[in-house]
Amino acid sequence: MKLQGAVIKEQGVTFAIVVVKKHIVDSQAKSQDTAGSFATLFPGMPLVLMAQDGRGVPKYRGRRDIVKFLANIHPSQIPWKEYTVN
């Protein structure tokens, strides 16, 4: 399985972002399950999930301080990369 994600270091915190479908970000339970499934790909890092609505507006779910930071930057500023999960 391939996924879009990024690892960012900001203000001394290294965290990961993974792009998922909007219905996952909209559900706390699905978000927790999904984030848990990516934990081995990004060990020891806080993980934020990101989805975009039909207009391309991002919505994030994860640690509050990281979500607040991401809300103030444009998604094009994130160093996206394709990851392969076995």
pLDDT tens-place string over residues 2-54: 999 999 999 899 999 999 999 999 999 999 999 999 988 999 999 999 999 99
Q: What pLDDT sits at residue 80? A: 97
d(CA 81, CA 11): 21
> Which residue do the tokens 């640690």 mark?
63
Domain positions in the chain = 2-84
Fold for the domain defined by 2-84: Trna Endonuclease; Chain: A, domain 1 (3.40.1350)
Alpha-carbon Rg of the chain, whole angstroms?
A: 12
Predicted confidence band of residue 81 (pLDDT cuts 50, 70, 90): very high
pTM: 0.92
Q: What pLDDT sits at residue 73? A: 93
Predicted confidence band of residue 86 (pLDDT cuts 50, 70, 90): confident
Q: What pLDDT sits at residue 30? A: 96
